[in-house]
Structure 1
């Protein structure tokens, strides 16, 4: 995932936009992981994990974004897709030997607060997200990001976030909805968006398939 917007308060709201190669298979929201009972998310069919996991019973969600830094050695590298699953299931931050993972940002959100865990390939840091609306991108909580500068004010001012996604895909660095065609013909773009709302009374979640926007 490349963009996550978080609004604290009631409801606690997360909206994640997943950018990926269009030929990478995936499926929509469901309880796809017997080893994590009750955890719901969209599933990446190549590696088996997820980019945003919801645990309705625990009033908890976890979202994973790619980060910047030192990649894991190819001989030890494993998919980062289990990180959000384990965080949503247990409520615990990433732990143990993380050197098998490429850099990442993991947002863990529940009714007690929202924390951002960032791994750059060498060091894990933790940050509490401030009250209000924040945007996390691949460079983390980065106010200098072109995407953050272009879109965070819009999300701060809007009650309903879904209409803000209704825009043409673009290659521009500030684009929220992305489409880039590579020299080999593969297309990298915004495949889906998932919104989660958490209150003491329950959790709602919705996934929108954005792939139709990428057809040209």
Structure 2
């Protein structure tokens, strides 16, 4: 693989934490905790291979439907992750951005997010986006609403793809090149629908806590061999 064949923006749907725990007769909380531990090695691999953007699906707008005790565990795990990892992120050149509707989070969690983002905002080795209380449809709706607020006298007829894009949560990122989903499911589950419009999609049966650096590199190798035409005709 060369730098020209590597993706610039990778998205990952980290699926399988609960099933991983169930197979081991463990509570779901331990599955989520084990999954969180995988993030560090993945970020380090991206830094080593010069992949500048990584987006992780941590908590969707639909995940609030899960049992309240599991949601509480996920929120506590998120807060703990921010507290434990932010210093190392700063040291290792990781710029952390949390994308999604933060209004449903506790004030304490919102404060942790704000501090973590400010502490890492000038880092340039990789931008790590964690999608929390995020949905692709929500992102497009809020982008349209933000565009309208910024252009109160404009007609909707003047709204174009190019004019809407700067209002998306990922306005400062390139479009997604590679979308990986672990856990054996073959769907995008409302994750960055706009951004992944032309992403290559790599589905793997491995549950997220068991997803290895080797398998991540296999996904990169698979991507490097894809013929990406973006809707154009294949050459004769």
Query: What TM-score results when the alignment is normalised by the length of structure 1?
Result: 0.31
Structure with greater helix share of residues: 2
Structure with greater strand share of residues: 1
Of the two structures, which has the highest relative contact order with CA contacts closer than 8 Å and spacing of 6 or more? Answer: 2
Bigger Rg over Cα? 2
Query: What TM-score results when the alignment is normalised by the length of structure 2?
Result: 0.29
